[in-house]
């Protein structure tokens, strides 16, 4: 069924991984063999190959921190937080602590990135808004799959300072 598919895309579609980033990490680590040999992420599957994957270990390791964030919704599967502008979602270069992920330790779960447990999407530091967080591995896989398949609709409201060239319009292009 996967004949003709790039190896990284095939791996990203597996519930055990769930994202292209996770697929790339296991490929780089050598945890994937195709017919007994390591292959490049761009390798196209022919069909009938034996793909071996050493599943990544479960996340562990963020230290909990007190981060004041309002919950907009919570049930046994999901947590929706109202992320304020200025708060970084997960640790990265220059932000080893004080992130939303640190504040969610113990309240969220799922995924294979220990610095992003339960986080299936993000908002930029200077953007405020609602962020959906998984509270279980099952919810994480389902949310990741829905986002990957573009089944999740996102809406943004943008405030503009100054005077745009037109009174109305639509931006339908990548914005960097």
63 to each of 27, 103, 104, 106, 117, how far by Cα in Å?
28, 9, 10, 10, 12
Burial (Cβ within 10 Å: 0-12, 13-18, ≥19) of residue 166: exposed
Catalytic residue among 82, 112, 124, 172: 124
35 catalytic per annotation: no
Under DSSP, the state recorded for 126 is: T
- Find out whether 55 and 40 touch, Cβ atoms under 8 Å: no
**Residues recognised as catalytic:** 124
């Amino acid at each position: 069924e996967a004949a003709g598919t790039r190896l990284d895309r095939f791996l990203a579609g597996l519930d055990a991984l769930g994202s292209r980033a996770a697929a790339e990490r296991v490929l780089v680590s050598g945890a994937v063999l195709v017919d007994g040999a390591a292959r490049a992420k761009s390798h196209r599957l022919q069909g009938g190959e034996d793909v071996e994957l050493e599943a990544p270990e479960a996340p562990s390791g963020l230290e909990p921190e007190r981060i004041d964030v309002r919950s907009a919704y919570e049930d046994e599967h999901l947590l929706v937080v109202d992320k304020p502008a200025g708060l970084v979602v997960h640790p990265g270069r220059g932000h080893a602590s004080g992130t939303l992920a640190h504040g969610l330790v113990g309240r969220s779960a799922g995924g294979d990135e220990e610095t992003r447990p339960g986080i299936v999407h993000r908002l930029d530091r200077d953007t405020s808004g609602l962020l959906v967080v998984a509270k279980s591995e099952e919810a994480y896989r389902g949310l990741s799959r829905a986002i990957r398949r573009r089944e999740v609709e996102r809406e943004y409201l943008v405030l503009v300072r100054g005077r745009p060239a037109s009174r109305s319009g639509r931006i339908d292009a990548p914005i960097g």
